[in-house]
Structure 1
Amino acid sequence: MASDIGGRRGAPHEHGGRIPLQSAGVPEWPLPTEAIATGRYHGDEWVHDPSIWAWAHAPNPAGAAAGVADGLAAGGADAWLVLSNHRLAVVMAASAAKKAEPRAEQQSGGWLSRAKSIAKDAQSLVQSDEESLLTLWEAPSAAIRHFGAVPMGRDVDPAWFGQIAFQDGSTVLIRMDNKAAAESVVSAGNALFGG
């Protein structure tokens, strides 16, 4: 994800510690090209960098799109952008934010620590399939102004983005596979909000 927050460009976007939790996983996607990472592009040329799957524009760091970008950056590949008729949120599974326990002390301990380790592993196998979610960022659905399907880029066949525009003037663009997928963002938003 990349961003332009208060005139400051970032690719990839970094949450700057504004989100207290972070994914324990390391994303396996490529980094942006040097031209995009250093801000040496014009207009919407960034859409031609395949590593940029989303873009946030906000007039300042308090903008809703900046919050979405912060949450998605903190959650990495474990983050989900979810929408209901009550709120828009960036969430991740609680287990994705946890650090793995060091295995070295389990191996070096005596029979009691090995027994505890076996019991803990067995307990994790029988736990419920339900998992709690952590909210990294959220806003009431009233913060959303509209949904859009936006063609971008300088190719004959444009790159399509689903757009979430906020009341505060900020916007999140999410890369879609095609025009129909981008238009589905509008349909889903209208279905939730009766538009």
Structure 2
Amino acid sequence: MSEDYLKPSELVARGEHLGDEWVHDRGVRGWATAAAGHQLAVQVVDMLTAGNGYAWLIATTHRVAVVIPAQFVDQPAAPLVTWWEQPPNAVRGIRDVLLGRTFFGAPFASIDFADGSNLLLRQ
């Protein structure tokens, strides 16, 4: 897998950012908020991070899943491998949001999970 992706700045990695300053760090592609580590937003982030930029979160009327092309996980028999899956009612809502401290804002998709956790993904 490629390691060409930007890494979060040291300021963000140390948690020394103020409020939503992390939005302007191009090394941060998403942000999860959860009360506990087992919640759905955290599960998704764990899978997306393990995919090193090759895994995708998908949503259909039948499921919400994190998938990765089989070539990246040594399973050439299928085009995609499902790493994580939930029924569609695991997601309470999805909306576009503009975040940050610039005039136009940075576009994110905000995914609200039924367990109260939230995932922001950079668009």
Question: TM-score, structure 2 length as denominator?
Answer: 0.91
Q: Of the candidates 85, 104, 108, which is equivalent to residue 138 of structure 1?
A: 85
* CA drift at 1:161: 0.7
Larger fraction in helix: 1
Q: Of the candidates 111, 129, 153, which is equivalent to residue 100 of structure 2?
A: 153
Aligned residue runs from structure 1 range 101-180, under 5 A: 131-176=78-123
Q: What are structure 1's unaligned runs of at least 5 residues?
A: 1-24, 99-126, 177-195
- Structure 1 ranges of 4+ moved more than 3 A: none
Calculate percent identity across the aligned residue pairs: 39
The RMSD of aligned alpha carbons is 1.8
| 2:43 is equivalent to residue 96 of structure 1 | no
Q: Of the candidates 9, 33, 55, which is equivalent to residue 57 of structure 1?
A: 33
Q: Assess if the C-alpha contact under 8 Å between 1:63 and 1:168 holds in 2.
A: yes
Given residue 141 of structure 1, which amino acid in structure 2 is its aligned partner? Answer: P
| 2:51 is equivalent to residue 75 of structure 1 | yes
* CA drift at 1:58: 1.4
Equivalenced residues, count: 123
Q: Which structure would you say has the larger Rg? A: 1
Aligned residue runs from structure 1 range 10-89, under 5 A: 25-89=1-65
Q: 1:49 and 1:166 mapped to 2: Cα distance?
A: 25
Larger fraction in strand: 2
What secondary structure, in the 3-state scheme, does the structure 1 residue paired with 2:61 have? coil
Given residue 78 of structure 1, which amino acid in structure 2 is its aligned partner? Answer: Y
Q: 1:138 and 1:43 mapped to 2: Cα distance?
A: 31
Q: 2:88 and 2:3 mapped to 1: Cα distance?
A: 29
> Residues 42-75 of structure 1, C-alpha deviation per residue, up to 9 Å, x if partnerless?
2111001011121111111111101110110111
